[in-house]
Structure 1
Amino acid sequence: MRSLRARWSAVADRVEAGTPADRDRSVDALRALAILGVVLGHWLVTAMTSSEGSLATTSPLTRMPWLAPVSWVFQTLAVFFFVGGLVAARGHASAREQGVPYGAWVGRRLARLFRPVAAVLALWTVAAAGMLLGGAAWDTVQALVRLVLSPLWFLLVFAVLTAATPPAVRLHPVWPAAVVAAVDVWRFGLGGPEWVGWVNVAAGWLVPYTLGAAWARGRLDRRGPALALLAGGAAATAVLVVWGGYPASMVGVPGAAVSNLNPPTSAAVAFGLAQCGLALLLRQPLARAMARPRVWAAVALLNLSAMTVFLWHQTAMMVVTALGLTSPVDLPGLHTAPDSALWIPARLLWLPVFAAVLAVCLAAFHAYERGGRGGPGRNDSATASARSVGGIRPVGTARRQGASRV
C-alpha cells in the first residue's frame, strides 16, 4: 500500500510540475465531472436482464419512477457541451491569431474525437459476427450493439457543433433555445409530426455550446449571470415538469411517451441552463480542490482519456454482465429485474467491478485516442502530456510540452 501511495505521489508531483501556473484547472474538473456523470448514470439506469439465455435492456426508472432525481445528478451532458463551447471558442481564436487555417484546426479537433471510434466499431463488428455465428439470439446481439452505438450520437452532434464554431461563437443562446421551444409547441401543442423533434438534437445542445462561447468572451465571469442561469433554469424546469407535462426524468425511460433527452426538450434545455449556472458557481471550490496535486493528477489523467472512457464504459458493463451469465443463478443487481429498492444497493456493489473492467479497456485502447505511440498523434501536446506523466519525458520537457494541454 505504501509503495502504491509513493508511486501515485510521484506521478502527481510530475503532473503538478508540468502544469503551467495559469492553467484554469476548474475547467478540466468540470469536464471530468461531466464524463463521470455520464458513465455512472449509464451504469445506474441501464439494466440488462436475462431470460432463457437472452439479454434485454431495461431501466430502473421504468418500475421505480421515484428515482427520477437520480437523473438530475448524472445527466451532465449540458456541462460537457458548455465546457466544449468554451474550449473550442478559445482554441479557434488562438488558431486564428497564429494564422492556422480553419481546416487544419477543425481537422485536428475532429481527429481527436473520431480516432478511438474506429477501435470500438472494429471490435464490436467482430464480436457481433462471432456471437451470431456462435448461436447467440438476435435480440441479445441487437441489445448489446445498440448499447455500444448509442453514445456515438453524442460524438456526431459534438463534431457538428465543433465544425460550426466560427458562426456559433457569434450566436446568442436565446435563438437556439427559441427553436427548441417552437419545435415543442409544434410537436406537443399543435400535433405536429414527431420527426420535427430531431431538429432539437442540434438546437438543444447548441444552447450550452453557445453559452460556453459566451464564457470564452468573458460574458459569464461575474457571479450574477451564474446565479441567473441557475435560478432561472431551475424555475423554468420546475414549471415545465409540474405544469407543462414534461417528464421529471432527464434521461430516456423505456416505454415512456415522451423523452426529455431523445430528442432534447425545453425541459432538458432549461435544466441544462441550471447546470451551467451551477458549474460556474462551482469554479472557485473546484479550483481550490485542484490545488492539491493528487486530486489534480487524477483529473488531468481522466481528461487525457476522456473519449476512451466514454466509448468503452458500456462495453465494460456488458463484459461483466456476459461473464456473470456463467453463474448458475441470476446475480442480484446484474441480471435481476430492477423492480424493487433492493436492486439499488446490489447495483452499487457492481460499480467497482465495472470500473475495473473499464480500466482494462483503457489500458488496451487508450493509444487510439492519442494516435498511438507511432501514429499520427505521436507529437501532439496531449500525447506529450501522457508521456510526461508516465515518466518517459523528463520533468523539464513536460513543463514546456506536457500537462499544459491536458
Structure 2
Amino acid sequence: MQREQRIDVLLATSVTVGVLGQWLVTSYAVMDDLHVASPLMALPEWTPATWLLQTLPVFFFASGYAQSESSSAPRLRTMPTFLLAWTAGTAVLSVNGFSLATIGEILGPAMQPLWFLVPYLLLTAIAPWLRRAVLRYGWTTVLVPAVCVALVDFVRFIWPSSGWLGYVNAVSAWAVPFLLGLAWRQGRINGVWLLGGGGMLAAALIALGDYSISMVDVPGAPMSNVAPPTAALHAFGCAQCGLAALAGDRLGRRATGSRITAVISDAAFPLYLWHQTALALISLATVRLGPISGLTSQPTGAAWLTLRLAWMPVCATVLIGLLVLARPPKPRRRLPRGRRL
C-alpha cells in the first residue's frame, strides 16, 4: 500500500498529543506513600482542556483508514516484552518493600494503554471483514457499534449495579472511529456533518446526562468517560474524526511528507504502549528523594503544570530509551550455501 502523508500526520499528531496529555494529567505523587494523582482534581476549571488532549479517536480513525487496503497485522513484537518487563518490575517492587496497594497504584496508569491497544489489535485482526461490510453498507455500518454503546450506557444508568457492563464498550466504542476510517478511505463520510453532529451530541449528553466533562481518566473522580468508554466519548470521537477527515482532505493523498511524522507514525503502537512506563520509571528512580516539584509532588495548581512541562523532555528521553531497549533484534540474513564468513 502506498504511504500517504495525511495518515502519517494524523497518527503522529494523535500519538504525540495523547502521550504529552497523559504525562500532563498523571502524577505519581509521593506523600506518606506513592499514589496516583491528577492536577485536574485541584484545577477543575481546566477540565475542558481535556477535549484537546484526548486524541485516541483519531488514532483509531487513521488506523482504520490505513487498514482499508491492507490485511497486515500490526507489529505485536513489543507487547510480550512489555508484559515481561512489568512482570519482572512487579517482583522487584515487591522485594524492595513496596506494598501491594502501592504496586497497584503504580501499575494502574502503566497498564492503562492495554485497555485501548487490545481493542485495536482485535479491530485490525478483523479488518478484512469490516472492510467488506463498509464496502457493502457504507457509513451505516457504524450504526451497529454506536447503538451498542448507547444501549449499554442506558442500562448502566437505569441499573447502577450493572456498571461492569460498560466494559462491553471497550470494543464497540473504538470500533466507531475505526469503521469511520474505513469509510473515509472510500469517500463515504462527510467531515462537516461528523464534526457538527458529534460535537453537539457530546455537548448535549454532558449538559443533560450524568457524564463527566473530562475526556481523559481522572484518578479519584466519581465518573469517567474513558474507563469504560461512554456515549459522550463516542460522540466526541465522531466529532474529532470529522475534524480529522477535513484536515486530511486538505492535505490530500500526497505520498511524500516529513521524515519525523513517518517515524512517529511507524512507532505509534509502542510509543503509546510504553509512555506511562517512562513516567513510572522516572518517578520510582527519584522516590527516595521525597516530593519533587512538578514530578512527584502533589499537583496543587497552575505552577505544578508549568513545572511538569519542564519534565517533558526527560520523559521523552526515557521513552525513547525504552523503545530502543524493547526493539526486537533484526533477523540475521542467511548466507547462500557454500559461502563462509
* Kept after mapping to 1: 8 A contact 2:3/2:255: no
Give, as a single letter, the amino acid of the residue that structure 1 aligns with 2:206: V
User: In 2, distance between residues paired with 1:263 and 1:29?
Assistant: 28
1:86 aligns with 2:47: no
Deviation of 1:289 (Å): 11
Asked if the contact 1:186/1:192 (under 8 Å) is kept, the reply is no
Q: Is the 8 A contact 2:28 2:106 kept in 1?
A: no
Aligned to 1:149: 111
Task: Report the residue type matching 1:77 in the other structure.
Answer: L
AA at the equivalent of 2:122: V
Count of matched residue positions in the alignment of Structure 1 and Structure 2: 327
Q: Summarize deviations over 1:222-278 as a string: whole Å, max 9, x none.
A: xxx111100111111111111223111012222333211111111101100010011
Q: Tell me, yes or no, if the aligned pair for 1:55 and 1:139 is still in contact at 8 Å.
A: no
What's 1:38 paired with? 18
Counterpart AA for 1:282: A
Give the partner amino acid of 1:216.
R
Equivalent in 42, 46, 51 of residue 72 of structure 1: 51
Question: Are the aligned partners of 1:230 and 1:274 in contact in 2 as well (CA < 8 Å)?
Answer: yes
Of the candidates 202, 210, 219, which is equivalent to residue 237 of structure 1? 202
Q: Please state if 1:198 is matched with 2:167.
A: yes
Using the aligned pairs only, state the percent identity: 37
The structure 2 residue matched to 1:265, chosen from 206, 221, 230, is 230
Q: 1:256 to 1:289 in 2, by over 3 A?
A: farther
- Code of the residue aligned with 2:41 in structure 1: it is T
For 1:354, the equivalent position in structure 2 comes to 315
Quote the Cα distance in structure 2 between the aligned partners of 1:37 and 1:268: 17
- Code of the residue aligned with 1:55 in structure 2: it is L
Runs of 4+ in structure 1 over 4 Å off: 284-291
What is the Cα deviation at residue 51 of structure 1? 2.1
The letter for the 1-side match of 2:187 is G
1:217-228 equivalences under 5 Å are 217-220=186-189, 225-228=190-193
More displaced stretch, 225-234 vs 196-205: 196-205
Residue segments in structure 2 that go unaligned for 5+ positions in a row: 135-140, 335-341
Contact in 1 for aligned 2:116/2:170 (Cα 8 Å): no
Q: CA deviation at 1:288?
A: 10
Greater Cα shift, 190-199 or 26-35: 190-199
- Which amino acid counterpart does residue 295 of structure 2 have in structure 1? L
State the TM-score, normalizing by the size of structure 2. 0.88
**Secondary structure of 1:247's aligned partner:** coil
Q: 1:340 aligns with which of 292, 295, 301?
A: 301
* Structure 1 runs not aligned, ≥5 long: 1-19, 93-104, 380-406
User: 2:129 aligned with 1:160, yes or no?
Assistant: no
After superposition, the Cα gap between the structure-2 partners of 1:127 and 1:23, relative to the gap in structure 1 and judged at 3 Å, is closer
Which residue identity does 1:340 align to in structure 2?
Answer: G
Q: Is the 8 A contact 2:4 2:254 kept in 1?
A: no
Give deviations 1:85-125, integer Å, cap 9, x for gaps: 11222113xxxxxxxxxxxx5xxx15x1x210111122222
Q: Is 1:324 equivalent to 2:286 in the alignment?
A: yes
Match of 1:99 in 2: none
Deviations 1:338-370 (A, max 9, x none): 1222211011111111111112222222x32xx
Q: Please name the residue that 2:239 is paired with.
A: 274
Distance 1:317 1:347 in 2: 11
Q: 1:289 to 1:313 in 2, by over 3 A?
A: farther
Q: In structure 2, give the amino acid aligned to 1:143.
A: E
Q: Relative to 1, partners in 2 of residues 1:190 and 1:152: Cα closer, same or farther, differing over 3 Å?
A: closer
Shift, 1:191, TM fit: 4.6
Distance 1:362 1:191, change over 3 A: closer
User: Residue 250 of structure 1 is aligned with which of 211, 215, 230?
Assistant: 215
SS of structure 2 residue aligned to 1:337 = coil
Q: 2:191·2:243 contact (CA, 8 Å) conserved in 1?
A: yes
In the TM superposition, what whole-angstrom CA distance separates every residue of 1:203-231 from its partner, at most 9, and x where no partner exists? Answer: 111111111111122213xxxx1111001
> Over the residues paired in the alignment, what is the CA RMSD in angstroms?
2.3
